[in-house]
Structures are given as C-alpha cells and as structure tokens.
Structure 1
C-alpha cells in the first residue's frame, strides 16, 4: 500500500516538473535559435516566406532541446524519488 500511496503522491510533483521542463525548453530554444540565426522568432512550418531548410532545422533543434530537457528532468526526478523514498520509481 505504501508503494501505491507514494506513486499517487508523486503524480502532481511529476506533472509540475513536466510543465516546468516544457517552459524551460521553450525558453532555451528561443535563446539558441536567436544565437544561431540572428532572428528573434523561429520559423513556423506554415510560413511560406521561410525555406524548407530553415523550417526543418528549427524543428530539429527544438526537438533535440525538448528531448534533452525532458530526459534530464526525468532522470533527476527518478534520482530524487529514490533518495526520498529509498525505492526506484516504476
């Protein structure tokens, strides 16, 4: 029962961490895109004034940043849960 209670208690924490990670990844992407391209805004896929290469490069960069931030937050959460509870999260 303690394991189940721990899972339920950690759900809101994990949800909040996920939201914070998404916001952090968005801010990081904007800064990296600005440094890489010199443009304040990343191209939208529907923007016909931007070329395929620019749109696809922005999408790849955004995906990579989001994946790295998500993995780092997930890993940190798992380590924190283990330290807090003494058990690995499922």
Structure 2
C-alpha cells in the first residue's frame, strides 16, 4: 500500500510493525514472497532512492520544501560517519 493507504503508489512498502514480525524465523517464507512481489521495508534511504531522487525535478514544492530539506539533512547526519 502507498503512504496514504491506497495502491496508487509506484512503490509498495511494509509497515514497520509488520516488517518486524516478518523478521521472525517463522515468517521468513512470507517475507521472501513479499520481496519477490516487489514489496520493500520503508526506510529513509528507500524513500530517498525510490521517491525523491527519481522525481527530483518536481518533488519539492513550496508546501513541502522546508520539511523535505530537514528530512534530507537529518538523513545525512544519521548516515554520516
């Protein structure tokens, strides 16, 4: 499902709670099946790579510019070594 609860998203992500459940040993088969369907865990990096970068020319708007820049800066800080 997309972020807004619909299937209109090009990329499909799994809720964090469900993904944690899927990481249990008994659920490995289900996790692999979902990955085979193209469903992925949503992380900040997957969101950046699958949503922002491919749409860089039109993603940032006046309405979301500050929020997006803050998110990108926090992502940079989190992954800087």
Query: Normalised by the shorter chain, which TM-score bucket?
Result: under 0.3
More strand by share: 2
TM-score normalised over the length of structure 1: 0.26
Of structures 1 and 2, the one scoring higher in RCO (CA 8 A, sep 6+) is 1
TM-score normalised over the length of structure 2: 0.27
